[in-house]
Chains A and B, each alone.
Chain A
Amino acid sequence: MTQRPTAFVNARLVDPASGWDGPGALLIRDGKIADVAQGGDLGTLSADIDVIDARGAMLAPGLVDIRVKTGEPGAETKETLKSAALAAAAGGVTSIVLQPDTDPVIDEASVVDFILRRTRDIELVHVYPAGAATKGCKGERMAEIGLMREAGCLYVTDADRPIVNSKVMQRVLAYAKSFDTLVAHRPADPWLSAGAVATASEFAGRMGLSSVPPIAEKIMLERDLALVELTGARFLVDQITTACALESLARGKAKGLPVTATTSINHLSFNEIDIGDYRTFLKFDPPVRGEDDRQATIEALASGLIDIVVSAHAPAPAEDKRLPYDEAAPGAVGLQTLLPALLAFHHDGRIPLVDLMRTVTSRPAELLGLAAGRLAKGAPADLVLCDLNAPIVVDLDKLKSKSRNSPFDGRRLFGEVQMTIVDGRVVYRV
């Protein structure tokens, strides 16, 4: 089943790893990138090569989304690995990292193994699990971090649940360091956040929504950074969304701590006013912030203080969203809208395209030690071809996820994924 080699010509090659954004061509052979011609062409192409004329569309590494939830195992009515993989493929995402808070929790090697075997059969995009940092994501006792790492989990995290006990967090960090394993943690003070569904503000007050002040994020992050300094562990700030926490992050990075940070496309794209008349599709965890925090987050992305953008894909079926705001499930699907939503910052001139794409390709790939995420000879042929200027209107009915809780419903965006390639195979074509 050897595939014919394929050449992309007349493309706008965007390769954040080398910093290249310009015309070029690229050759795929045997699932790998066989040749890259930045600024030129591939020379004479032999007759056995299929040639695809990109007509100026962007050819970039497929996206690496390191914070994705599905419903498998345990809640397959929300989302299966297959439906998530289809959504990813349609969104130009070629690698996804699953959160461990499934049922059962991914807190031992056998569950890691189950996920890897299931996704091998699906043969769409690369799917990697993150393991739980503590057993059952309960924040009490350490999970089998070493064994899960051996089985193939990429990092450890308790997903949405903060590890409240500082002693447990210290041990997780110290232990994970011995396996050179990245620890991700959601910065949220549990007491200030308890019961909150919105960010404290004049708006939340008028709407009568229980709210959490933005400093809840800063308070927990300051603790985490102190423990990182103590233990020297590699640390990932999971979804930073507030100006005050960004100040702490900047100080930690300036000190040289081994810290990386993500934010979610939702917090870059929406503010609390979008809640409007209690739209539960805007209910996220962490809650959607005010405009000042959103602007600070975009600034931090532009300056490189924030390293990575995630979709924070979290499927919730209609029955979990068609509820009063405080009862509705948090989260939004995002695999299919991540790229066009992110491109908005390129189109409005705020962030250069190559820098923007770095946050969803080479940067997360490097962090997790993946060979993907770059357009280089010998790298896996994981690619996305995207017509940057094609207008799209997000239509819930066209989402591939089993749950269609997208806050981007009806949004007009620019950037249509035309083709997604994983290991040289076309997994999506418009």
Chain B
Amino acid sequence: MSAAPTGLNEVLSRTFPFPKRHFLSVVDLNPVEVSGLLDLADSFVSLNRQHSKKLDLLKGRTLMNLFFENSTRTQSSFELAGKRLGADVVNMSPRSSSISKGETLIDTAVTLNAMQPDLLVVRHSSSGAASLLSQKVTCSVINAGDGQHEHPTQALLDMLSMRRAFGRIAGLKIAICGDVLHSRVARSNVGLLQMMGADVRLVGPPTLMPTDADRWGVDVYHDMRKGIAGCDVVMMLRLQLERMDGVMAPSQREYFRFYGLDREKLAFASDNVRVMHPGPMNRGVEIDSDVADDLAVSLIQDQVEMGVAARMAVLASLAARLDND
């Protein structure tokens, strides 16, 4: 294993220790903690670009990925993050294994907890599932997406991508567009971006907007051109195809006409605009390939890279606290 790259030790030595046992919601964080995590993540970005990517910060620790919902990209992002920090990583997919047959979430968690993992990464289709689990296990729980509630590491990696692109978060005008109603990514991003001083607006049809979203301290727009006017960042959300076809929107083509991001609409944003998407994308539905693949405006590939670094920062911070226990 290589020694920590210059920079990392320095970052580690000048950030406050992370005081929380779990990483469940952006609501639990404060600006100092967020800045510390971003600084740490930045140093991991450099590490990840080196030939030798491995550290031993998590040596001897066990990371368990518990994904009740399939997600190849998030799961492998956590897996890589854990491995690069030297942890042993186990992937559990309760849905396809016998572990969850007739078992409740709690029973599964208690069973896995008895195997003494140090870090448990959980994705579940129900809002609040990660929090519930954290009350019943002794290890640190990381929320990798709970229903329509939160996906805090996604918000952190999005913020890392934005901070690297613009050098700041405060004062950025950010439009989050599409299916806000069902999006945990949107909820975590709204909370985290507001905390760090960004100006957030939500754009989408009324059928995909949560009740009283205008009371979250954001402006809500149903006209996309107005919504993204002058914005520094346009963050597109994934829309599940089965929600179109007359359910939440009349059709794919109608949705794309009014809410799909293409060159024509993007022209309303700031000249220096960056486009983001948490993936996987529905090309031609919520975003035009022409925009998605334009490396001059798209941060979508950066987001994937930053995902590993941001998750390494979270894992390293939680593990450091475990070491101090």
Measured between beta carbons, the chain A residues less than 8 angstroms from B132 are: 278, 322-324
Q: Determine if A325 and B128 form an interchain contact, defined as CB atoms under 8 angstroms apart.
A: yes
B240, CB-defined interface residue at 8 Å? no
Q: Determine if A204 and B128 form an interchain contact, defined as CB atoms under 8 angstroms apart.
A: no
| Chain A positions 189 through 205: 1 when the CB is less than 8 Å from some CB of chain B, otherwise 0 | 00000000000111011
In the docked arrangement, what's the CA distance between A4 and B308, Å? 80
- Identify which of residues 184-229 in chain A touch chain B, using a CB-to-CB cut-off of 8 Å: 200-202, 204-211, 213
Q: Determine if A204 and B106 form an interchain contact, defined as CB atoms under 8 angstroms apart.
A: no
B206, CB-defined interface residue at 8 Å? no
Q: Determine if B106 and A201 form an interchain contact, defined as CB atoms under 8 angstroms apart.
A: no
Measured between beta carbons, the chain A residues less than 8 angstroms from B210 are: 202, 204-206
Q: Determine if B126 and A201 form an interchain contact, defined as CB atoms under 8 angstroms apart.
A: no
Number of A-B contacts (CB under 8 A): 66
Selected contact of B149 from candidates A202, A207, A322, CB within 8 Å: A207
Q: Determine if B126 and A204 form an interchain contact, defined as CB atoms under 8 angstroms apart.
A: no
Q: Determine if B131 and A205 form an interchain contact, defined as CB atoms under 8 angstroms apart.
A: no
Measured between beta carbons, the chain A residues less than 8 angstroms from B126 are: 324-327
B113, CB-defined interface residue at 8 Å? no
Measured between beta carbons, the chain B residues less than 8 angstroms from A319 are: 104
Q: Determine if B104 and A277 form an interchain contact, defined as CB atoms under 8 angstroms apart.
A: no
Q: Determine if B211 and A324 form an interchain contact, defined as CB atoms under 8 angstroms apart.
A: no
Known: A324-B126, A324-B129, A324-B132. A208 touches B105 (CB 8 A): no
In the docked arrangement, what's the CA distance between A319 and B210, Å? 31
Q: Determine if A277 and B131 form an interchain contact, defined as CB atoms under 8 angstroms apart.
A: yes
- Minimal Cβ-Cβ distance residue in A for B68: A324
Within the complex, the shortest CB–CB distance from B101 to chain A, in Å, comes to 15
Q: Determine if A278 and B148 form an interchain contact, defined as CB atoms under 8 angstroms apart.
A: no
Within the complex, the shortest CB–CB distance from A196 to chain B, in Å, comes to 11
- Minimal Cβ-Cβ distance residue in B for A279: B128
B147, CB-defined interface residue at 8 Å? yes
- Identify which of residues 209-256 in chain B touch chain A, using a CB-to-CB cut-off of 8 Å: 210-213, 215-216
Selected contact of A325 from candidates B106, B127, B187, B215, CB within 8 Å: B127
Selected contact of B187 from candidates A208, A210, A211, A324, CB within 8 Å: A208
In the docked arrangement, what's the CA distance between A327 and B127, Å? 10
Per DSSP, are chain A's interface residues mostly helix, strand or loop, or mixed? Answer: loop
Q: Determine if B187 and A206 form an interchain contact, defined as CB atoms under 8 angstroms apart.
A: yes
Q: Determine if B212 and A324 form an interchain contact, defined as CB atoms under 8 angstroms apart.
A: no
B42, CB-defined interface residue at 8 Å? no
Selected contact of B211 from candidates A204, A326, A327, CB within 8 Å: A204
Measured between beta carbons, the chain B residues less than 8 angstroms from A326 are: 126-127, 147
Interface centre among B106, B124, B146, B147 (most CB of A within 10 A): B147
In the docked arrangement, what's the CA distance between A209 and B210, Å? 10
Q: Determine if B106 and A208 form an interchain contact, defined as CB atoms under 8 angstroms apart.
A: no
B199, CB-defined interface residue at 8 Å? no
Q: Determine if B127 and A208 form an interchain contact, defined as CB atoms under 8 angstroms apart.
A: yes
Within the complex, the shortest CB–CB distance from A430 to chain B, in Å, comes to 34
Measured between beta carbons, the chain A residues less than 8 angstroms from B146 are: 208, 324
In the docked arrangement, what's the CA distance between A359 and B210, Å? 37
Measured between beta carbons, the chain B residues less than 8 angstroms from A209 are: 127, 148
Q: Determine if A202 and B212 form an interchain contact, defined as CB atoms under 8 angstroms apart.
A: yes
Measured between beta carbons, the chain A residues less than 8 angstroms from B149 are: 207-208
In the docked arrangement, what's the CA distance between A207 and B215, Å? 14
| Chain B positions 142 through 172: 1 when the CB is less than 8 Å from some CB of chain A, otherwise 0 | 0000111110000000000000000000000
Q: Determine if A323 and B105 form an interchain contact, defined as CB atoms under 8 angstroms apart.
A: yes
Q: Determine if B128 and A200 form an interchain contact, defined as CB atoms under 8 angstroms apart.
A: no
B83, CB-defined interface residue at 8 Å? no
Interface centre among B106, B124, B126 (most CB of A within 10 A): B126
B184, CB-defined interface residue at 8 Å? yes
Measured between beta carbons, the chain A residues less than 8 angstroms from B213 are: 202, 205
Q: Determine if A277 and B212 form an interchain contact, defined as CB atoms under 8 angstroms apart.
A: no
Selected contact of A324 from candidates B147, B150, B216, CB within 8 Å: B147
Selected contact of A202 from candidates B105, B124, B211, CB within 8 Å: B211
Within the complex, the shortest CB–CB distance from A209 to chain B, in Å, comes to 6
Selected contact of A207 from candidates B104, B124, B127, B129, CB within 8 Å: B127
Known: A322-B104, A322-B106. A205 touches B212 (CB 8 A): yes
In the docked arrangement, what's the CA distance between A201 and B215, Å? 10
Measured between beta carbons, the chain B residues less than 8 angstroms from A205 are: 210-213, 216
| Chain B positions 165 through 187: 1 when the CB is less than 8 Å from some CB of chain A, otherwise 0 | 00000000000000000001001
- Minimal Cβ-Cβ distance residue in A for B129: A324
A-B contacts, 13 of them at CB < 8 A, read A200-B211, A201-B212, A202-B212, A204-B211, A208-B147, A210-B148, A277-B131, A322-B106, A324-B127, A325-B126, A325-B128, A326-B126, A327-B126
Across the A-B interface, give the 6 residue pairs with the lowest CB-CB distance, nearest first.
Answer: A324-B126, A278-B128, A205-B210, A208-B148, A208-B149, A208-B127
Identify 9 new A-B residue pairs, CB closer than 8 A, beyond the known A325-B127, A326-B126. A202-B215, A202-B216, A205-B210, A208-B147, A277-B131, A278-B132, A323-B104, A324-B124, A326-B147
**A residues in contact (CB < 8 Å) with B:** 200-202, 204-211, 213, 277-278, 319, 322-327
**B residues in contact (CB < 8 Å) with A:** 104-106, 124, 126-129, 131-132, 146-150, 184, 187, 210-213, 215-216
